[in-house]
Structure 1
Amino acid sequence: MTIRDAPPSEVEPRDASRPAGPLGRLGITMSDHRRVVFTVWVLLLIGLGSLAPSVFSSLAGAGWQANGSESVQVRELARSHLGGNSSAAVQVVVHSDTAVFGDPAMLRAVDGIGDVLRGDPRFGEVIAPQPGQSISPDRHTAIVIAGAAADTDAMVSAVDDHKAALSALSRDGVEVYPTGASALWSDFNTANHDAMITAELFSWPVTLAIMVLAFGSLVAAGLPLLLTIAGLVASAGGLVLLNEVTPISVWAMNFAMMFALALGIDYALFIVSRFRDATGRTDPRTAVRETMDTAGKAVVLSGLTVLVSLSAVLLVPAPAVRTMAVGIMLAVGFVLLATMTLLPAALGGLGSRVDAGSLPWARDRELRSPAFTRWGMLMHRHPWPFGLAALGILVALSIPVVGLTVAMPSISVVPEDAAVRQGYSVVAQEFGPGAPGALQIVTPAADVAATVVAAHGTGIASVTPPQAASDGSGYVFLEAIPAVDPSSPRMGSILDGLRERLPADALVGGAAAENLDLQTALDDNLPMVVGIILLLGFVLLLVALQAPLIAVLGTVVSLLSTGAAFGVARLIFQDGHGSGLLGFTPQGFLDGWGPVFFFAMIFAIAMDYTVFLLATAKEHFERTGDPVQAQVDGLAHSGRVILAAAAVMVAVFLTFALSDPLPPKEMGIVLGVAVLLDATLVRLMLLPVLLRLTGRAAWWSPSWLRRVLPDIRFAH
């Protein structure tokens, strides 16, 4: 028996007449006790809002490492036994085109660096420039090394506190540049913060304009923004509190702000649109109940889909990646809480006044869109041309994924005028291209001779003299200077070859090794993360829709927009198409954290729209039992909301394309392209076509499955 031949009893709609569900009752409670709800939220926002302004200065600045990796072990050993001369140490470059080391101007700069750094307990041993190691052959460049006596996050903060004083030592023809991994993250985080503020300044006015056009009412347009602001303030304060328990990457706030704005508006659009439709035919209290029982249910399921998708990222053993996911999940949680409590309370109080300030051309508040009704009928009559066109475009854009290359970001992620980049360039020019990416080796004293011999191998330009730990631990430290730039594709094979040659107890680390170990961890965990996200996404759709076929199709088509977005990412960021227009120099690869994190975010957003569309279609199928009505009315009632929500998301994400640092630019463009493709080609074309082609089979479910799954219905 085929699915289409299923017994009528298994495809007919259930009885839609029922009392208010849990969310309907919650909405009524929030509406009836709105003064209490408002008071609680005001107190919550005052409490968390008092912490929010310190979010950027409080959050951690590093965390880009693979926990448990060999390179992290080397860093911890260097911190404990070798004066902190690890990848987190700060190298302060002193350079002059005219003076040489030993001249008064150079010596004054070196002494000044010592005076600035020795008073801070976060710095370990301050090592003066050493001939043959940290003084260039022409003596025009010298490097002062300040060991790391604290963890990587504290070292970034230490650079934040002292880099202005260090740069102020530049005078009398001598330039002073703090550089190294800690300085890199300090300068990058500063540039990233500035880029985010610029992006937000652009996105808010655009968002408000889209909201006004979508609702045609100033009050209705303002509700999503107020909801989003509440979620943003609460999540920012929450991140500050959470940072007291465990270090949270400052990047978490970037993503939290983006998702709070995008999803907060998504959810509010769906709820407010449904409420406006209901107030045209019933009282405000009943309208709140109906809205929460239908649109509210879809929003909860959508939020859960986002949360479970991002939870898979927590499996990656990298603190920065994990805490970025935590930041988004916290923001989504607060936005969801506000949507379920604050928004119904506000709607119950406003009632029909939700349309106050309506624009002259937008008096009609009916949820059903005539334009999308016609669009749905057009695809019903001609499904194949639309389906094949959408599928062809998505597949064509996905093909470049085959040649996608990923690697950890290079020094080019910071602006050219950043002190760390200028210092990096000086070190590479004076000491060789591999000097900024020195590989640090820690070995027991008994293996020193064998380690020195093995370190001189393919891809290594030079090896520094061994230095024994002064604490009697028996460890010896030396550096192998690669013959290539740290961002060269050859670095991976050079590191692997070095590790293979060294004695078993010798460990290799350094900033370049930490990047490569993190990239390995990301690559190794990617299949597991993708598999878990797909499985959880399917299960949630199955529970929500109670129909196996459409749950499978909804999950699979979400992969198309994800693949297309990564294909576009390769064309732009790896191959450099459009780089001149976007104002960046391509690195020749996509940043290594992109596949894991972007996949989780894109899939979460895609499933967000999937739930909105299919929940609406399921509601109409439950009411009528007619798959044609479900397909057309599902699109007629949700198409305008999906399009408006997508426009807001695209506007929010693409404003990050204006930033100078490359990672936020990648993030904004990849996510913006993904949302644009998903909303237009997948949700408004391909998925409705699949509903048309599968017909009643899309909503069929075997009786045993219906008994196992919870009874979730959307018809009111």
Structure 2
Amino acid sequence: MTGGPLARLGTWTATHRRWVFGIWALLVIGLGAAAPTVFSSLAGAGWQANGSESVAVRELAQQHFGGNASSAVQVVIHSDTETIASPAVAHVVDEITGIASGDPRFGAVIAPQPGMTISPDGHTGIAIIGAAADPDDMVRAVDEHKETLTGLSGNGIEVYPTGASALWSDFNEANHTAMISAEMVSWPITLAIMIVAFGSIVAAGLPLLLTIAGLVTSAGGLVLLNTVTPISVWAMNFAMMFALALGIDYALFIVSRFRAAVTAHDSPRHAVAETMDTAGKAVLLSGLTVLVSLSAVLLVPAPAVRTMAIGIMVAVAFVLAATLTLLPAVLSALGTKVDAGTLPWARGQQHRSPVFARWGRLLHRHPWPFALGSLAVLIALALPAIGIKVAMPSIGVVPDDAPVRQGYAVVAEAMGPGAPGALQIVVPQADAATTASAAAQVPGIAMVTPPQQATDGSGHVLLQAIPDVDPSDPQMSTILSTLRDDLPATALVGGAPAENIDLQQALDDWFPIIVAVILTLGFLLLLVALRAPLIALLGTLVSLLSTAAAFGVARLIFQDGHGASLLGIDPQGFLDGWGPVFFFAMIFAIAMDYTVFLLATAKEHYEHTGDPHHAQINGLAYSGRIIFAAAAVMVAVFFTFALADPLPPKEMGIILGVAVLLDATLIRLVLLPVLLRITGHAAWWSPRWLDRMLPAISFGH
């Protein structure tokens, strides 16, 4: 049995499967021991633009002003009957101080101050617990103490921990709960789809077992990686979803090919070698494409965004490793028993699907109506994306009953809509008066608080500029820009709203660069694999259509509110700011996944026959059912997240689900096969000079 490196890898795993099982058992047990702590260990903050002015202000405030930074905990105290000056409220402040003093992550407590953190009617005040640790540790501190703080409520006094650290604590908790609930719904749906697709209980269970191994090891890997550098808890949320979807994709392709090969060979070992030499190459290329697409997100100078990409990359790497080593070993052990538990309707099911063969012939006979029809639908859905608006999430993404949202509402009602999102200004003492006067003149600033002197004698002062609009109002960006333009050059402007705006600006600035990098790297990978520049270019470009269409649908739902009530959505009037960068990378990676499966299969048949007609029809006949089943699984996985209560999981689930649905049905099963039909031999042509430069990769065996 001859073959390439992957065929030899398949042969080795089949021959040494006990070693493979032993190594994976050690990995699953070893890394799995750390996996249960993944959500409590990972970082809760990181939503910032490194190197920005707002981050500099936060660091200065933490260093020189007793931790009175954007990451400080603002404990809202309100009473309809008591004033903040009353002994009862003073006792609550003492209790807050006692809680803070018992945790080294908390700094000094600043009691409510008249004219600064006490409402005009005297019934609402804010006690500030300084930040004595980095933002991630501050979120963890709130996680541990928020129940104790809210437990101080009673006797007509309400206590709510708020501020950025409390916001991320409640936000992460709500989203984690939603993600776990969605996963619990998606697993049985996925198993049902797999049983229908394979018609065999054993074959259907293999992808799920493979995915579990990938998930457990990636979770443990992220916990270990977090000891080196903070990893956002969102990294695991995305990793769970992507590992399930892609793990099943890869296993579908491998198991389907093995089931066909094992009937044609005298031993399972030879069947594994052939499977790895053909389908294995497509899976490896697909995995590399996903990793390359997500690696472009690492360019964004935002820790949370970067580590979300890292989380998915770690999960994909483990799933890919399991697909190329553990799965072949299991298949070699099962042999023909892979079809055990075959259901009645699936007996005699062949690797080559007659249904998709007929579909391929139909597209071959009538290419233009199908091409124009699919393009019309995709372009119509993509057009609304032109007017899409983005911004960082508002307080509306947190559940109504979350303490941070309740405190936010109390402060906004008692002190004005901008009070929950004060802008912080750090300036040398000599420029304090000029700065305060200039800030007070800026349109949109309701008031400027008296200067707070530095606690370490550094000569800096801290001013709070209270806007007259909600922190998520679009006017906030103009107010911040005007402040920075009008204040003395020595003044730095930050605060939680400024951190959001600076992060949004960084995401906007990097978005076109990331798109260009992803498209370029995706094209180069397809070019190297297929050695066919035209179809590599077309395969890359058509992936943009499903992405644009998904964003068009996102605008209609999440920005304009069409169908929002049906989905239980309260539209913010914009898409969450991290969406375009991250969703583009994810959608493109998934789209290229299907592109690789289809084109690799078509290339294999073109290599055998030299007939583009044969390649187009059999490309669909052999990969169409797999693409359809894989897409059904992905759509089911993603749409279950639309059932979540918080907005971000809904946004993620609907956008990714729509993208996969459109990409699989209109592009991979219609438009791309039609392009193969229209371009004919030209699809697979390559100039001689390029052939000499590229490695010789064959998808045939």
Alignment correspondent of 1:570: 555
User: Is 1:82 aligned to residue 65 of structure 2?
Assistant: yes
State how far apart, in whole Å, the 2-side matches of 1:454 and 1:525 are. Answer: 32
Q: CA deviation at 1:209?
A: 0.2
The reply on whether 1:507 has 2:499 as its aligned counterpart is: no
> Does residue 235 of the first structure (1) align with residue 221 of the second (2)?
no
2:444 aligned residue (459, 468, 489): 459
Code of the aligned partner of 1:407:
A
User: In structure 1, what is the Cα distance between the partners aligned to 2:112 and 2:166?
Assistant: 19
- Give the SS at the match of 2:344: coil
Q: Which amino acid aligns with 1:253?
A: M
Deviation at 1:437, TM superposition (A): 1.0
Partner of 1:487: 472
User: Contact conserved, 1:413 with 1:661, CA < 8 A, in 2?
Assistant: yes
Residue range with higher mean Cα deviation, 101-110 or 190-199: 101-110
Kept in 2, the 8 Å contact 1:260–1:331? The answer is: yes
> Secondary structure in 2 aligned to 1:25?
helix
What residue in structure 2 maps to residue 586 of structure 1? 571
Partner SS state of residue 504, structure 1: coil
SS of residue in 2 equivalent to 1:92 = strand
Residue identity opposite 2:348 in structure 1: D
Q: CA deviation at 1:125?
A: 1.4
Which position in structure 2 is the counterpart of 1:4? none
Q: What does residue 547 of structure 1 align with?
A: 532
CA distance in 2, matches of 1:503, 1:446: 11
Tell me if 1:441 matches 2:420: no
1:384 pairs with 2:368? yes
Residue identity opposite 2:313 in structure 1: M
Q: Any residues of structure 2 matched to 1:9-28 within 5 Å, and which?
A: 19-28=2-11
Q: Structure 2 length as normaliser, TM-score?
A: 0.99
Check if 1:525 corresponds to 2:525: no
CA RMSD of aligned residues (A): 0.8
- What TM-score results when the alignment is normalised by the length of structure 1? 0.97
Spell out the pairing of 1:266-285 with structure 2 (5 A cutoff): 266-282=249-265, 283-285=267-269
- Deviations along 1:466-493, one digit per CA (max 9) or x if unpaired, are 1110211111101110111111010001
- Answer yes or no: is 1:332 the counterpart of 2:316: yes
User: Counterparts of 1:347-358 in structure 2 under 5 Å?
Assistant: 347-358=331-342
Aligned pair partner of 2:208 in 225, 229, 239: 225
1:85-129 CA-partner distances (Å, limit 9, x unpaired): 010000000111222223343223222111111211111110011
- Match of residue 659 from structure 1: 644
Equivalent in 346, 355, 368 of residue 362 of structure 1? 346
- SS of the equivalent of 2:474 reads coil
Residues 1:623 and 2:608 aligned together? yes
| Cα displacement string for residues 653-693 of structure 1 (whole angstroms, at most 9, x for unaligned residues) | 11111111111111111000000000000000000000000
CA distance in 1, matches of 2:463, 2:395: 24
Paired AA for residue 151 in structure 1? D
For residues 83 and 585 of structure 1, what CA distance do their matches in structure 2 show? Answer: 38
- Secondary structure of the 2:616 match is helix
Amino acid paired to 1:624: T
SS at match of 1:67: coil
For residues 231 and 652 of structure 1, the distance between their equivalents in structure 2, rounded to whole angstroms, comes to 17
SS at 1:472 equivalent: coil
Shift of 1:313: 0.3
The separation in 1 between residues aligned to 2:80 and 2:530, in whole angstroms, is 70
Candidates 634, 659, 664, aligned match of 2:619: 634
Report the alpha carbon displacement of residue 694 of structure 1 after superposing the two structures with TM: 0.4
Report SS of the residue matched to 1:361.
Answer: helix
Q: In the aligned structure 2, how far is the partner of 1:663 from the partner of 1:116?
A: 32
- What is the letter of the counterpart of residue 682 of structure 2? A
Q: Which residue of 2 aligns with 1:396?
A: 380
Q: What is the 5 A alignment of 1:258-337? A: 258-282=241-265, 283-337=267-321
Instruction: Output the amino acid matched with 1:501.
Output: D
Residue type of the alignment partner of 1:382: H
Could you give the per-residue CA deviations for residues 214-262 of structure 1, whole angstroms, max 9, x where no partner exists? 0000100010000000000000000000000000000000110011000
Q: Distance in 2 between matches of 1:695 and 1:639?
A: 19
Hey, what's the Cα distance between the residues in 2 that align with 1:118 and 1:93?
Answer: 18
SS where residue 551 of structure 1 aligns? Answer: helix
Once structures 1 and 2 are overlaid, which stretch shifts more, 363-372 or 299-308?
Answer: 363-372
Aligned mate of 1:209, from 189, 192, 195: 192
Q: SS at the partner of 2:227?
A: helix
Is contact 1:89-1:146 (8 Å) kept? yes
Residue pair 1:276, 1:365 contacting (<8 A) in 2 also: no
- Give the Å deviation of 1:555: 0.3
Tell me what 2:34 maps to: 51
Q: Hey, what does 1:32 align to over in structure 2?
A: 15
Report Cα offsets for 1:418-476 as digits up to 9, x if no partner.
00000000111111101111000000111112111111121100000011102111111
Tell me the residue number matched to 2:164. 181
Contact 1:255 1:328 survives alignment (8 Å): yes
Distance 2:632 2:475 in 1: 42
For residue 176 of structure 2, the aligned residue among 193, 196, 202 is: 193
Contact 1:270/1:641 (CA < 8 Å) preserved in 2? Answer: yes
Task: Name the aligned partner's letter for residue 698 of structure 2.
Answer: R
Q: Which moved more, 1:100-109 or 1:84-93?
A: 100-109
CA distance in 2, matches of 1:147, 1:513: 19
TM-fit CA distance, 1:191: 0.4
Equivalent position SS for 2:655: helix
Is the 8 Å Cα contact of residues 383 and 552 (structure 2) preserved in structure 1?
yes
* Partner SS state of residue 488, structure 1: coil
Cα distance between partner residues in 2 of 1:61 and 1:714: 44
One-letter code aligned to 2:43: A
Alignment of 1:63-82 (within 5 A): 63-82=46-65
**Whole-angstrom CA distance in 1 between matches of 2:414 and 2:569:** 26
How far 1:161 sits from its partner (Å)?
0.7
Structure 1: 5+ residue stretches without partners: 1-17
**Aligned length, in residue pairs:** 699
| 3-state DSSP of counterpart to 1:245 | coil
Letter matched to residue 364 of structure 1:
G
User: Which one of 633, 654, 659 corresponds to residue 674 of structure 1?
Assistant: 659
What amino acid sits opposite 2:497 in the alignment?
A: A
Structure 2, unmatched stretches of 5+, are: none
Aligned to 1:643: 628
C-alpha displacement of 1:699 = 0.4
The one-letter code matched in structure 2 to 1:62 is A
User: Following the alignment from structure 2 to structure 1, what is the Cα–Cα distance between the partners of residues 322 and 249?
Assistant: 13
**Residue of 83, 87, 111 corresponding to 1:128:** 111
Q: How far apart, in 2, do the equivalents of 1:410 and 1:350 lie? A: 52
Deviation at 1:173, TM superposition (A): 1.2
d(CA) in 1 for partners of 2:74 and 2:638? 36
**Contact 2:100-2:107 at 8 Å conserved across structures:** no
Moved more, 102-111 or 358-367: 102-111
Supply the distance in 2 between the matched residues of 1:624 and 1:687 (Cα, whole angstroms).
20
Q: Distance in 1 between matches of 2:473 and 2:447?
A: 17
Aligned match of 2:74? 91
| Cα distance in 2, alignment partners of residues 678 and 651 from structure 1 | 15
Contact kept? 1:277, 1:365, Cα under 8 Å: no
| Partner in structure 1 of residue 581 of structure 2 | 596
Q: CA separation in 1, counterparts of 2:569 and 2:315? A: 30
How far apart are 1:364 and its partner, in Å?
2.2
Structure 1 range deviating more: 126-135 or 510-519: 126-135
Query: What code does the residue aligned with 1:84 have?
Result: G
* Aligned equivalent of 1:140: 123
